[in-house]
Amino acid sequence: MTGRLNNVFQFVEVDREDPSKKPLITRKGQFVEIYKPFAEPAAKEQSHRCLECGNPYCEWKCPVHNYIPNWLKLVSEGNILEAAELSHQTNSLPEVCGRVCPQDRLCEGACTLGEGGFGAVTIGSVEKYITDTAFALGWRPDMSKVIPVNKTVAIVGAGPAGLACADILVRNGIKPVVFDKNPEIGGLLTFGIPEFKLEKSVMTRRREVFEEMGVEFVLGTSVGDDVPFEHVLEEYDAVFLGMGTYTYMKGGFPGEDLPGVHDALDYLVSNVNKNLGFQENEEDFINLKGKKVIVLGGGDTAMDCNRTSIRQGAKSVSCAYRRDEENMPGSRKEVQNAKEEGVNFLFNRQPVEIVGDGKVEGIKVVKTQMGEPDENGRRSAEVVEGSEEILPADAVLIAFGFKPSPAPWFEKFGIDTDARGRVIAPKCNKFMYQTTNEKIFAGGDMVRGSDLVVTAIDEGRKAAEGIMDFLEV
């Protein structure tokens, strides 16, 4: 049995081997997460299931085009270290992608077995297993053949794009120096994504591995504030910007500034900071214990808010989304996890106002019905006249996504942005991901707009190739 018991949620024990697994045990009055480790027999069993299709759709659906059938075969034969070596040829953070990719929309969604109704090979779990196991066995990327080329590149931002760029550069003899304002690497991987999806020790271990490979990190240092960008530009042979998108989108309806309304990212970051001991002031912690919470949005950040609120002991958690379940942008797996943990989904509800006298008391929503597909193929939500209702709430989390936050110094250094604030750095350039300043490259969310971790990794890796071409390495 899983889910909610007696409206009391208390997490007393967690085996973090595989947070993607469903909770196995609940106790009366308590909600106990115990995950079965995804161990060798399960990894081998899943790997054996791969049909090794002649035209592996899973590889094509994976944004970094992982050699999935090849590493599944190596796992099925027990060659974990070879599988780790192979998986690192295409992915800089495979253990992270195995945990946080929406596999049901990517590799696993394209698995022939899944399409045949037999259940897709659990590719993400195997990918995570390979790197976790290889690291535990002492495996490290082989740097013995790397020849230094006497070039250094500054990387601004230690999120997935910056780390992926550093990975490719250091493997090609270039010294990357990665600056980040936070005290640990990972960006939103560390400070946004909740611990139950991505254990923080994963990023700590990855930092140690990168440091052993020769990547230098300058953490707790904000470029533009603590270090002038002029110095960075002068001192290094090239610069890569991977600064992400942190400005949250507003709903644009009345009541968004009422006490009790929080931006999703502020909420998630405050929770992680509290758990990691990085919190400076107690009042910065947003605690939803005992509250009636409504989360607005339908993406993975909304699901993170739902599941974190449940874990904080919210009295109830409802998630209102303006389209139907079919048209939600988030991972199906995450929606299912949230449902099983007790989140109440309100589909086809569009918020029009947050109501309350001095603080949040509820949300006024209208019902919607699905209309014609838009230019991206997603069906629009059409308002049903006269369907207004007020949903009671004493906390509201807004998870409508993020938009770029161009730094004030971009203009001074000739870094152009488009009308939406995204840095202009096309892939199809003479040098991939070069900005309008030839010495500066950029990738990830700040170029593409808010997207998946794995697409940021892909762009960071490709930008590194652009940098190497530019430096004629």
C-beta of 124: minimal distance to ligand SF4 in Å? 4
C-beta of 46: minimal distance to ligand SF4 in Å? 13
> Considering beta carbons, is residue 122 or 434 the nearer one to ligand SF4?
122
CA distance 157 to 163: 8
C-beta of 374: minimal distance to ligand SF4 in Å? 25
> Considering beta carbons, is residue 66 or 271 the nearer one to ligand SF4?
66
Q: Which residue type is seen at 55?
A: N
Extract long-range pairs of 22-27: CB within 8 Å, 24+ residues apart.
22/337, 22/340, 23/340, 23/341, 26/1, 26/2
> Considering beta carbons, is residue 197 or 422 the nearer one to ligand SF4?
197
Q: Are β-strands 238-241 and 440-442 bridged in parallel, bridged antiparallel, or unpaired?
A: parallel
From residue 30, give the alpha-carbon distance in Å to each of 7, 19, 161, 312: 9, 18, 40, 13
C-beta of 111: minimal distance to ligand SF4 in Å? 10
CA distance 176 to 238: 10
Q: Which residue type is seen at 293?
A: V
Enumerate binding residues for ligand SF4 (CB under 6 A): 62, 64, 66, 68, 91, 97-98, 101, 103, 106-107, 123-124, 127, 454
Q: Which residue type is seen at 312?
A: Q
Asked if 68 contacts 58 with a C-beta cutoff of 8 angstroms, the reply is yes
Asked if 275 contacts 308 with a C-beta cutoff of 8 angstroms, the reply is no
From residue 171, give the alpha-carbon distance in Å to each of 143, 165, 168, 420: 7, 10, 5, 34
C-beta of 230: minimal distance to ligand SF4 in Å? 37
> Considering beta carbons, is residue 286 or 457 the nearer one to ligand SF4?
457
C-beta of 192: minimal distance to ligand SF4 in Å? 18
Q: Which two tokens stand for residue 165?
A: 């760029």
> Considering beta carbons, is residue 106 or 264 the nearer one to ligand SF4?
106
- The residue whose two tokens read 């003479």 is 430
- The residue whose two tokens read 């601004």 is 156
> Considering beta carbons, is residue 190 or 331 the nearer one to ligand SF4?
331
> Considering beta carbons, is residue 440 or 454 the nearer one to ligand SF4?
454
Q: Are β-strands 402-403 and 247-248 bridged in parallel, bridged antiparallel, or unpaired?
A: antiparallel
C-beta of 93: minimal distance to ligand SF4 in Å? 9
